[in-house]
Amino acid sequence: MGTVQAAYTLGKRNKGKMIFALLLAALPALALAEVDSGFVFEYHRYTALRSVLLAVTQDCPDITRLYSIGQSVQGRELWVLEISDNPGQHELGEPEFKYVGNMHGNEVRGRELILLLAQYLCGEYKAGNSRIVSLVQDTRIHLMPTMNPDGFEVAANQGPDGNGWTTGRNNMQGIDLNRNFPQLNSIAYSGESSGTNQDHIPIPSSYWSGTVAPETQAIITWLQSYPFVLSANMHDGDLVANYPYDTAKSGGFWGSGYATTPDDALWRDLATTYAQAHGTMATTGGGSCGFHTQGGITNGADWYSLSGGMQDFNYLHTNCYELTLELGCDKYPRESELRTEWTYNKESLLAYMEQVHIGIKGVVTDTNGNAVADAKIMVQGNNHGVTSGKFTVIVVHCQCTTLTPSTRGCDRAATTEKPNI
């Protein structure tokens, strides 16, 4: 029977040391060098997409790793590019971040933005941009340009002018991948009145008796294999940063009512970070999109309710916080618009990644200094915790935070309090 302990220090993480880092303000938005002037702003079919990713690994071999998490229905690899100062390794105190694009095959901005971001990070790292060097050294970044490569090929065969609202949206089984994840919301909602923790909910065995797309299965395995902390899933069809919950707590579809999570203030803060850094999301709304009137952000269920979404699954099954980014009113813009889309989103993509460091990082040990693998970390007043002895807890800027680490077999838990700074 041992006491769970936690030691911490304020400030930025020092590599190799078992410490916490608490950053209570976002990193400054530094001027970006224009090494992206040589980028090719065009759509990349499957083979060309792989070529771009391979080119980045060749240009920056010391900070990149290309890997696949599985295959689509038609056998296309689901490629992920890792960017980190030690690719292939999870490092203590270095949080893991991911961007996922093209979940719906005919929603294409995210696919190209992620390819551009990969090239940009490589080029700026080599150029010595201090902001990018810090980001790469302190973060393990995973970039998935397309979760639905089969659907994209269907949409690309018609192109932007002939593409329908749903052409290529689903995978080749006809499954909407953003309705195919385990629906854990009902379990979470049923426990709200009793104060039951709303985190790390197991996947019900009944889920596997249904049709699970190979792309969905690959993502679930990926999420269970990497300790992701922060993520965004890119879509098109509107212009807004959407945050959990996506599933309404009562019946209905459109405007079913705000579905609050235990981390509502944090979610609003994260969504606002992306929206305000974007060229038009929080201001003009890009013409026909109207969410700029509420700052370019929305609660998912308050917009419309969906079940089986990836965003809520990340939050309720793992330690990962994921936004759904709707990046444009039209789902398949012309190639001539891609340069402008990159300009609109570049700062947002960087600023949002940096939010993974707005929190507390650390390791929980027993009295003998041994790491406790199954510890749970709770923030005072919040029923959504994170697990594992190595952890990152994202908190709202300037939030006074009391952490309580605990595990089975311990007679008491030490608390670590951070003052308002």
DSSP string, 210-251: S---HHHHHHHHHHHHS-EEEEEEEE-SEEEEEES--S-SSS
Backbone angles phi, psi at 192, to 5 degrees: -65, -45
Place of tokens 């294409």: 108
* CA distances (Å), origin 163, targets 159, 261, 286: 6, 36, 20
- Contact 275/223 with Cβ under 8 angstroms? no
Q: Is 347 assigned a catalytic role? A: no
Cα–Cα nearest to 333, from 152, 163, 103, 149: 163
Integer Cα distance of 326 and 333 in angstroms: 13
User: Cβ of 380: how many Cβ atoms within 10 Å?
Assistant: 11
DSSP string, 72-93: -TTS-EEEEEEE-SSTT---TT
Give 246's contacts (C-beta < 8 A, 6+ positions apart).
Answer: 259, 300, 301, 305, 306, 309, 311, 312, 324
Catalytic option among 94, 153, 326, 341: 326
Report helix, strand or coil for 136: helix
* CA distances (Å), origin 239, targets 148, 284, 293, 301, 341: 21, 10, 11, 16, 12
Identity of residue 407: T
Cα–Cα nearest to 380, from 362, 409, 360: 360
Cα–Cα nearest to 244, from 263, 222, 226, 228: 263
Residues known to be catalytic: 326
